[in-house]
Amino acid sequence: MIKEKETVNDQEITLKELILGIQDFGKEIIRFKYFIILFAVIMGLLWVISALKENKTYIATQTFMINSDEGGGGIGGLGGILGSIGIGGGGGGKYNLPKVLELSRSRKISQNVLYNKVYVAGSSDFIANHIINTKDSIGDWATVPFYKFWLPESKLSKFRFAHDSISSYDRLENRALKKIHTLLIGNEKIDGIMSSSFDEESGIMEIKVETENEDLSYHLCKKIYSELSEYYITKSIEKQKFTFDIIASKHDSIATELSIAQHRLADFEDKNQRLYSKVDRLKIQRLNQEVQKLAAMYGEVSKNLEIADFSLKSKTPFVQEIDAPIRPLRVNIPSIPKSFLIGFFLGSFLIIVLIIIRKVYFDIMV
């Protein structure tokens, strides 16, 4: 029973000491309150200066939408005919917006974009080189410490693309291309220059480009949209276009043969002036049969050509531009009040921690 009372007393004493200790720390903080405020203000100002030194960026945004229903759904009674000639009617469905999103991040699209020449900062060059110049000016391209000169990155410091023949690129050019692609779309470590997203309810897609140069952001955003829409449309109707081209070629060939056969028949009749021997009648009968056969073939292939043309047009995606980027672009600059508050509270926290450590040290030593 006595031991339990001693334990309770020890706990009460410990709690009392804790409260007194907290009070001492509070008094110590109040004693240095002006110093704390001064240090926090200085830290806030330093944070503002650091924020102002950051490069402002220009944001270009392009919004667009793709018609949601594939064209096969509107063919109706032609569906069976389309299937019979291998075109494939019917069967609508929705366009895969996530697929379009991933396509915008593919190297295929970025390669088509990067080797367009545009005017930026008064000079015409590949977009890839403009990106390198912009990133190099802020030290984000191939900055390597001098004592690590053997790293592959060091060879990129003076690199610029001289041609767009990717198939003949050497290892250095391929390395530069991969690095530019990473800068463009980003990875788990860095945010990319370009980002894309879509709204599931409205189906509206957005491409956003943010760089340190207004002209570069503007041209890059428009080129990405242009290449993405063109590539998507081309690949979406590749099968229908192939079928249409085959039927169109056959149509032209039969039309030529029919025209030749008709001219041969007319020429034969003109030369004989309707005075036919039995052999002539046999020949004219064969010419008539050939004309009739070709005319029937021409009528059938003409019908198939119309169906193929209808299928091609109905399955062609319609990419509708909504809002294109216009200059002047939106500028992204750090918020001065926000920067000051971050620095102020960080400075207050650091100096209070140092004051507490100082008091603990002197309490122990004294």
- Distance CA(179)–CA(192), nearest Å, equals 11
Q: 123 φ, ψ to 5°?
A: -135, 150
Taking only the tens place, the pLDDT of each residue in 24-37 is 777 777 877 888 88
Q: Which residue bears the tokens 């004309």?
A: 291
Q: Give the alpha-carbon dihedral of 176, 178, 183, 187, to 10 degrees.
A: -150
Give which of 89, 91, 93, 63 is closest to 77, Cα–Cα.
89
Question: Residues 129, 137: contact at Cβ < 8 Å?
Answer: no
Q: How much is the pLDDT for 78?
A: 45
Q: How much is the pLDDT for 73?
A: 43
In the structure encoding, which two tokens stand for residue 333, read together?
């600059």
To the nearest whole percent, how much of the chain has pLDDT over 70? 77
- Distance CA(269)–CA(139), nearest Å, equals 85
Taking only the tens place, the pLDDT of each residue in 251-304 is 899 888 888 888 887 776 766 665 556 666 677 778 788 888 888 898 888 898
Q: How much is the pLDDT for 154?
A: 67
To the nearest whole percent, how much of the chain has pLDDT over 90? 15
Question: Residues 79, 106: contact at Cβ < 8 Å?
Answer: no
What integer best gives the mean pLDDT of the chain?
79
Q: Given the DSSP bridges, would you call strands 204-211 and 194-198 parallel, antiparallel or unpaired?
A: antiparallel
Say yes or no to pLDDT of 224 above 80: yes
Q: How much is the pLDDT for 285?
A: 77
Taking only the tens place, the pLDDT of each residue in 144-193 is 655 555 556 667 878 899 998 888 898 888 988 998 999 998 888 888 89
Residue type, 257: E
Give which of 231, 232, 230, 226 is closest to 325, Cα–Cα.
226
Write the DSSP assignment of 2-54 as a string of letters: HHHHHHHHHHHHHHHHHHHHHHHHHHHHHHTHHHHHHHHHHHHHHHHHHHHHS
Q: What is the mean pLDDT of residues 45-53?
A: 77
Question: Residues 170, 152: contact at Cβ < 8 Å?
Answer: no
Taking only the tens place, the pLDDT of each residue in 102-123 is 888 888 899 889 999 999 888 8
Radius of gyration of the chain (CA): 38
- Distance CA(12)–CA(19), nearest Å, equals 11
DSSP structure class, residue 329? P
- Each domain of the chain, given as residue ranges in start order, spans 2-52+336-365, 57-237+317-332, 241-315
Write the DSSP assignment of 192-244 as a string of letters: -SEEEEE-TTT-EEEEEEEES-HHHHHHHHHHHHHHHHHHHHHHHTHHHHHHH
Q: What is the mean pLDDT of residues 50-78?
A: 68
* pTM for this predicted structure: 0.67
